[in-house]
């Protein structure tokens, strides 16, 4: 099972760095290039 960490609107991977050190199977979603919520959800689900 993998963990997908989803940053908020004004956050990025940097906000999850302290957590990533302790999780072996975690990925941070990059939501900066999508135009719609549907695209964001599709990209997040593709990471899991």
The C-alpha atoms of residue 20 and residue 42 are separated, in whole angstroms, by: 22
pLDDT of residue 1: 62
Mean pLDDT on 14-31: 88
pLDDT of residue 36: 93
pTM (global) more than 0.85: no
Going from N- to C-terminal start, the domains of the chain cover 3-47
Task: Please report which confidence band the pLDDT of residue 42 belongs to, taking 50, 70 and 90 as the band edges.
Answer: very high
Element (H, E) at 16: none
Give residues with Cβ within 8 angstroms of 27, minimum separation 6: 2, 3, 4, 5, 47
Mean pLDDT on 1-6: 83
A 10 A CB-CB count for 6 gives: 15
The C-alpha atoms of residue 21 and residue 35 are separated, in whole angstroms, by: 30
Residue pLDDT, tens place only, 7-18:
887 788 888 889
């Amino acid at each position: 099972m993998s963990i997908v960490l989803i940053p908020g609107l004004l956050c990025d991977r940097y906000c999850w760095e302290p957590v990533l050190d302790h999780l072996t199977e975690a990925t941070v979603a990059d939501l900066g290039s999508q135009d719609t919520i549907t695209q964001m959800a599709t990209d997040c689900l593709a990471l899991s």
